[in-house]
Amino acid sequence: MRIPVTAPLTAGAMSCLLFGGLVAGAVNGASPADRVREATSAVDTAMIIANEETTEHWLSYNLGYTEQRYSRLRQITTDNVGELGLAWSYDIGSERGLEATPIVVDGVMYVSGPWSTVHAIDARTGERLWYFDPEVDPKYGAWACCDVVNRGVAVYRGKVFVGALHGYLIALDAATGEEVWRRDTNIDRERYRHTITGAPRVFNDTVVIGHGGAELTARGYVTAYDTETGVKRWRWYSVPRGPQGPFEDPSMEMAAATWDPDGVWHEVGGGGTIWDSMVYDPELDLLYVGVGNGTPWNRDVRSPAGGDNLFLSSIVALNASTGEYVWHYQQVPGETWDYTATQHIILADLEIGGEERKVLMQAPKNGFFFLIDRTDGSFISAEPFVEVNWAEGYDSEGRPIEVEGARAQDGGREVIPTAYGAHNWHPMSYNPETGLVYIPAQGVPLALESDPDYQPSTHQPGHAMSNLGWNLGHLLNTVPPEAKPFGHLLAWDPVNQREVWRQEYLSPWNGGTVTTAGNLVFQGTADGRFLAYDATTGEPLWQQEVGSGVIAGPVSYAIDGTQYVSVAVGWGGVYGLAQRHTDRASPGRVYTFTLGGDADPPPVRRVEEFRGTELVSGYAYAEDDVNPGAMLYVSNCLMCHGAPALNNGGNIPNLAYSDLSILEQLPTLVLEGAWTDRGMPHFEGRLTEGELRQIAAYVQYMADTMRE
């Protein structure tokens, strides 16, 4: 659907062409669209490699194939960063989480938003060029464990590629936003709840994409498509189909020997989704993929006889041309705590022990910083970068030395780090000049206990999100966690495996980082600030309040000889769904800064402007409904709405701060799907009116208790 330039933007709009900001840049009579098409058509593997030496553009999710997020631009430095000002801002127009790293090609920015929308922006002025909406059915919001987010797009040979939440990979014309082709990446929509939130990667006329879904039902894989035609080139699975096969390739036969054939894993897919990190190594023609957690999480029910359960929690190297397995390194054999290896992977050449090594670096959820030889997957070292209580360390073969009792069967145990991770998807960065990696480190308390009553995909009150199809095999918070939440920016020396400096923050769930040749590190925070630090010392040098909490990673690029820094701002994600750490709650927006920038800041919206600030009162309930209501709340509402009355919610409201009419009408509102257009699951057939009244009773009880 094409929309006239004077028409208001609608949710179903396929593209909106303006191009006003590029008219001045058109040369030799070429139209603005032709200029964009010419510039983006030049983006190929060779250009992405060359750009890492100049970093004039930001051509890939983490800048280039090394994924270092290191800008060689040095116009903005420690001496003048205090002169940064706002150049422009752009309204994404959504209240859900904004996790995207923008792509910038020759003055045009491409950034994705919630529900997998794509915005093309004139990076000189902040004016919209076009907009694309894949029109994802809101019902797929129930398939997304961790918000309806999208981390970014890829640009290659005149096309923009976006992975949509409902599992489609879509190619767009980079100049117009018109859809060129669309491919369904899901192998079985009736059986598996696969979603896409990650950014595609492109190389050698190939675009690759993974997916999420391991909290529900999923079998992990990564798929490669021809960038021009969308024809599938290859697919590699990360877990076997079942104990007896048939096996797609020898790696699956090898993996099957590490799973208990009598476990429930093959009923629900086994997990192992490749939902974030994928890194192409042009020198070795290898694609490194980070593999996620198992389905169910708990190995005691997934594979009760034990086993390493390959390739969960592993980094796997594939032949980038064919998709064939080359090597793997498993960080957590028999993974059971949601310790994914999907976090950001960085490639570098480092001198270690007097020898130059080709390494990959990763700081995954499990709390250890890893150095792995990327030529053959051999283990170099792993050291904790936060507090860790599940393992003493790693032996010389690269296998963890687990602490006795870490796999508690009953009674509950507070395992540190938790499933939220010591470092989650928020991208880190590496500065070759300082030799440091800048990690958004964190801790979110949580306790786990093996669930003796677990049944696959079965609603069991008291079992977290079970009525939404979650398959954890664990009970949550069965003992009160003793750890305190934290978040900090950590500067880590990867060669000597030690902390160099840190900056403490108010809370967990802070944004990704970018580092520059101007000896700077930029990062946004959960409490709504965007900051610059001295990359060597960690000294804070500049900060700017922005309209909401920041979780995305910033970028830096140059246009007409001027360096810019941009960041997408919008609170959300799995932690941000239910938690908030600032009173600013503006819709998602891209902020762009430059030296001497003097644009007026956009209006800021406060939480109290649109959400209740008083605990609900007056709902009449029977005391006998409170306990069953609590169990139903855990199995239906907890992960999105949070614990009632303990805070005022994240980007989804806390029900204890609702208007009384909401609780009184809860059965009607929930069963009739009043909020499905916002991504709330439809509960018709899942809950009864009586059960919803019990949930309301629990919410009112919690509000009354906290008020006292």
What's the order of all strands across the beta sheet hosting 529-534?
70-71, 513-516, 520-524, 529-534, 540-545
DSSP letter at 214 equals: T
Rounded CA separation 589/594 (Å): 17
For residue 404, the 8-state DSSP code is T
Measure Cα distances from 684 to 50, 463, 464, 626, 669 in Å.
54, 20, 19, 22, 10
Residues labelled catalytic: 338
Element at 668 (helix H, strand E) = helix 666-671
Closest by Cα among 465, 467, 471 to 639 = 465
The Cα 96–Cα 102 span in angstroms is: 17
Identify the sign of the CA torsion 666, 668, 669, 673: positive
Q: Show the tokens assigned to 144.
A: 């997304």
| Burial class of residue 643 in the structure, from the number of CB atoms within 10 Å of its CB (0-12 exposed, 13-18 middle, 19+ buried) | middle
Long-range CB pairs of 301-305 (<8 Å, 24+ gap) are 301/263, 301/264, 301/450, 301/451, 301/454, 301/473, 302/263, 302/264, 302/265, 302/270, 302/473, 303/259, 303/260, 303/263, 303/265, 303/334, 304/260, 304/262, 304/263, 305/260, 305/262, 305/263
From the list 259, 255, 265, the residue with the least C-alpha distance to 302 is 265
CA gap 40, 38 in Å, rounded: 6
Question: How far apart are alpha carbons 661 and 696 in whole angstroms?
Answer: 11
Instruction: For residues 19 and 27, give the distance between their C-alpha atoms in angstroms, rounded to a whole number.
Output: 14
Angstrom distance (rounded) from CA 466 to CA 468: 5
Task: Supply the pLDDT for residue 324.
Answer: 98
Q: Are 25 and 115 in contact (CB under 8 A)?
A: no
Q: What 3-state class would DSSP assign to 199?
A: coil
Residues 6 or more apart whose CB falls under 8 angstroms from that of 188 comprise: none
Helix (H, G, I), strand (E, B) or coil at 40: helix
Domains annotated for the chain, with CATH where assigned, are 45-446+481-607 (2.140.10.10), 611-707 (1.10.760.10)
Q: Per 3-state DSSP, what percentage of the chain is helix, strand, and coil (rounded to 5)?
A: 15, 30, 55
If residue 381 lies in a helix (H) or strand (E), which one and from where to where?
Answer: strand 379-384
Buried b (16+ CB within 10 A) or exposed e, 97-123: bbbbbbbbbbbbbbbbbbbbbbbbbbb
For residue 189, how many other CB atoms are within 10 A of its CB? 12
Radius of gyration of the chain (CA): 24
| Amino acid in the structure at residue 665 | Q
| Percent of the chain whose pLDDT exceeds 90 | 86
Question: For residue 180, what pLDDT is reported?
Answer: 98
pLDDT beneath 50: ranges in the chain: 1-27
Alpha helices (runs of H) in 349-491, residue ranges in sequence order: none
Q: Parallel, antiparallel, or unpaired: how do β-strands 232-237 and 270-271 relate?
A: unpaired
